[in-house]
Structure 1
């Protein structure tokens, strides 16, 4: 690509090597979660939420289980101010939930913020100012000491107004654009703010280190976090927080490695809404922990409900491939994937294994409210026999023999390919009924009568070209007797009859289903299925269905060519 020379790496590695995070295998416990949907998320919407919509979204966040929620920047607009006042005056904030508000390091904004907080039970006051080289040089045109003075002055003002305002307040400081700041300077400015606030074990301070713009690979961010965690003053009384954005598509990785590096808290949004490419997605982070057997302490057991309300209130669409929440993320179209999933599900039923290990499925979709039917296996021209068989079994109780699944699979894929579309379960079932079940052309089975002597004697009534005929035959079993009769009377030659039956448990009627495969003299196998309340009748119907499929395949006009002899 052209112009590559204009780009340089604008981030800063720590002055000392910090790689202890790389020795850890996984995140052992959930962090403190803070939703910033109502601030970072809302400000990034094409149409920001109204007061009523923000109130509804706040209730959604409570249902998910957030205990810290950033509700806005009350000094920024009347809607933001009114929203905070409504929460406080209508007593909509549960006792175990702490709201968070954002303020710049400017006195009139800080004053307005505390005015909006009058009467609140407890709140986090989040102070920030930009610290990166680019912001210092290009936006503020101030040197390092002048930038520190902005932060320290703001910290003193926040402390002053907190002392004058009734309520319980916790302080938070963010060196905005942390990832573009020299690590020694980021450490100095944070420690200077901490010196003002003097955190204690009973009144801890939050130091939030945002990837306001993601500028590096995730391991660099982790090293930056580890350096700050090890060097911060008052560390035992500091809650180290992350606020990753997703500019490089690594927001989740940044947060996960940042937690390994010592962070105890994460700010993010549902499904990653936020400026530009968005904030880190808390749904993905939480369910990634869940997949490792770690309780995320957030409730995503009904992901559909959460997703529907999120899309309604934000007017944003969650992509079909979005982790966990997307429509297609548990779906397999590939034949080999479908077969592995179907076999894995069956193995799990047989073994009753304690741990989830189904191929291609990171977690059990049912744990977050997804359904096996219609979610896991969907059928198109790329699908295979395993997936198609799974659809029939799960939706209609039909357990096809393995060989029949392969034959039927080609039929389904051909229809999907010809129509150039995905096939729904009811369409697959209709194809199966049409091609295999109780086939009556050209030979329609009407009735039978058996007499068991040394051999099974049978009398069978059939219809050909609207004429009813009867024939007698014998065999070493009922189905064998009828099979022999079809060969000797109608001259239909086949061999190697394959038979399977089971009860049809899905549906209101108690039916039996039988499957029969027969091999023509040229080696081609033809299949039929019979469904009836009587198991013997279902097996005979399956045999006739297979025979009809064979004779019409060999000669589509065979119904005009039979010679019937008694």
Structure 2
């Protein structure tokens, strides 16, 4: 934006509240939740939900655990009226769940609203009218008293209709565009409505203070809520509700601070769907609480199902980086992140406390129905730990730590060459080609036969003895080799030295049973130091651990020979 354009804007006024208390508070209990997906969410869709989609969304909200659901503005549209009638007449609203209906403070709309809820056990009738300075002056061209008179007239009519209804009616009032309304005037109009409705502690009234347009930083919204809670004369008989929009991208933060400032209830939508930049995202709010050890009272343990229904009904896509729900939020491509996650997951598996503490992951993906396999993915930004993580989690190969750099370089070369992300299957193929198979029959040794001719095991390693014989093939020929050593692997090394005059030193050896696939197989990893001082790793899988170690040694030797020949290793 050009500098000269800035002059048309002015800062939002702050609140004189030097003794504000909310900064020292924390959220310790969940608020009452009200989903407005079927109203605010639906009216924001390019193609609003049809009846079947509304029913599916309503059922999803019930499954998640919402006890208050704003089902629509039944007096404004026939489809919303018919939907509410279907819910009531087919008894689709469970006991303990409260439908909420929205109406402006206009006579014909209020009467039609009460027609729509006839036969329900209970309902929240949500009355609103706009109170902001801008709306008063530009849209309605009415003074403060006229706007109050409109709200009071609506409140009285709602009360009269409720007395004549067989429905247990709960009252809610919103000074729409609260953030654009003078604080003292917002308080005045809300108290005028409360004077009509006369709330009690047993039957409180909901006062909803909507950030219809988000106009300030979250701390200022919290100041306004705390100021309002302090000055409201009927605070003990009022449920203070929030309804934040996301024009500045701060609706979640603003709502969290406003809860700390004294609010009791939150209206919002799944994934923040709503007009313009959206409503506050209830899923993010709820799971933020969960990560602090606070039970949100909403169940997102099958988050993939929530996403599936939401996307089908709204025809919107959950962004891949959406907190908690995005496809990529439990995925790390960066090498340093991958290494830290890998170590953290291992530490968590061995922890006795049960507390979740994994770097870069504020929540355990499994608690939301996600799997660990997607946490680390491999592209050109990935490091050595990421590839090792995938090999263990997907295929059961626990690569020795000292092997990570070598395999990481091989994977890095593959991603640099392709520019693409590597799937687990592609990663395994790279591992297999480089370690588990003989890439060049002309130079690579292939084990054709192996046997232990004799073996004596003693408590002292010096006195242990093994004699082996093996048949190797390479370059179209075969050769039988034989030697002794203090164990089969040592004997095989001796045979390679004595019979084939290979120059190498066995440097490191690891083995383990495979944790994926066939449990009867084992994998061996061997590191050798070649005559020029270079080190190479080899790996092999076999049902016989001795054969696996022999083949792993050959894998390392073959990789060293390929490097000497100038082949890609």
Could you say which TM-score interval applies, normalised by the shorter chain?
over 0.9
Shift of 1:509: 5.4
User: Partners of 1:520 and 1:402 in 2: how far apart?
Assistant: 20
- Give the structure-1-normalised TM-score: 0.96
Shift of 1:315: 0.4
Q: What residue is the counterpart of 1:560 in the other structure? A: none
Q: What residue is the counterpart of 1:468 in the other structure? A: 478
User: Partners of 1:140 and 1:509 in 2: how far apart?
Assistant: 75
User: Partners of 1:337 and 1:510 in 2: how far apart?
Assistant: 34
User: Partners of 1:52 and 1:348 in 2: how far apart?
Assistant: 44
Shift of 1:12: 4.1
Matches within 5 A, 1:89-104: 89-104=89-104
Residue by residue over 1:288-338, the C-alpha shift from the partner in whole angstroms, topping out at 9 and shown as x without a partner, is: 000000000000000000001000000011100000000011111111111
Residue by residue over 1:419-462, the C-alpha shift from the partner in whole angstroms, topping out at 9 and shown as x without a partner, is: 11111111111111110014373211122233246643332211
Shift of 1:505: 3.0
Q: Indicate whether 1:535 and 2:537 are aligned.
A: no
User: Partners of 1:12 and 1:462 in 2: how far apart?
Assistant: 84
Q: What residue is the counterpart of 2:560 in the other structure? A: 550
User: Partners of 2:324 and 2:133 in 1: how far apart?
Assistant: 38
Contact (CA 8 Å) 1:456, 1:476: kept in 2 or not?
yes
Unaligned 5+ segments in structure 2 are: 457-462
Worse-matched range after superposition: 102-111 or 439-448: 439-448
Q: What residue is the counterpart of 1:70 in the other structure? A: 70
Mark the CA change 1:452 to 1:7 in structure 2 (over 3 Å): closer, same or farther: same
Q: What residue is the counterpart of 1:20 in the other structure? A: 21
State how many pairs are aligned.
554
Matches within 5 A, 1:68-467: 68-374=68-374, 376-439=375-438, 441=441, 442-450=444-452, 451-452=454-455, 455-467=465-477
Q: What residue is the counterpart of 2:460 in the other structure? A: none
User: Partners of 1:322 and 1:136 in 2: how far apart?
Assistant: 37
Mark the CA change 1:537 to 1:15 in structure 2 (over 3 Å): closer, same or farther: closer
Q: What residue is the counterpart of 1:4 in the other structure? A: 6
User: Partners of 1:389 and 1:46 in 2: how far apart?
Assistant: 45
Q: CA RMSD in A?
A: 1.4
Q: What residue is the counterpart of 2:505 in the other structure? A: 495
Q: What is the SS of the residue equivalent to 1:373?
A: helix
Q: What residue is the counterpart of 1:484 in the other structure? A: 494
User: Partners of 1:512 and 1:152 in 2: how far apart?
Assistant: 79
Shift of 1:556: 5.2
Residue by residue over 1:136-172, the C-alpha shift from the partner in whole angstroms, topping out at 9 and shown as x without a partner, is: 1100111111111111111111111111121100110
Contact (CA 8 Å) 1:340, 1:359: kept in 2 or not?
yes
User: Partners of 1:381 and 1:470 in 2: how far apart?
Assistant: 44
Contact (CA 8 Å) 1:501, 1:515: kept in 2 or not?
yes
Contact (CA 8 Å) 1:271, 1:282: kept in 2 or not?
yes
Contact (CA 8 Å) 2:17, 2:223: kept in 1 or not?
no
Q: What residue is the counterpart of 1:35 in the other structure? A: 35
Shift of 1:394: 1.0
Residue by residue over 1:155-203, the C-alpha shift from the partner in whole angstroms, topping out at 9 and shown as x without a partner, is: 1111111111211001100000000111010000000110010001221
Unaligned 5+ segments in structure 1 are: 558-566
User: Partners of 1:15 and 1:467 in 2: how far apart?
Assistant: 91
Shift of 1:526: 1.0
Shift of 1:490: 2.0
Contact (CA 8 Å) 2:506, 2:526: kept in 1 or not?
no
Mark the CA change 1:16 to 1:513 in structure 2 (over 3 Å): closer, same or farther: closer
Q: What is the SS of the residue equivalent to 1:162?
A: helix
User: Partners of 2:315 and 2:469 in 1: how far apart?
Assistant: 69
Worse-matched range after superposition: 478-487 or 303-312: 478-487
Shift of 1:464: 2.3
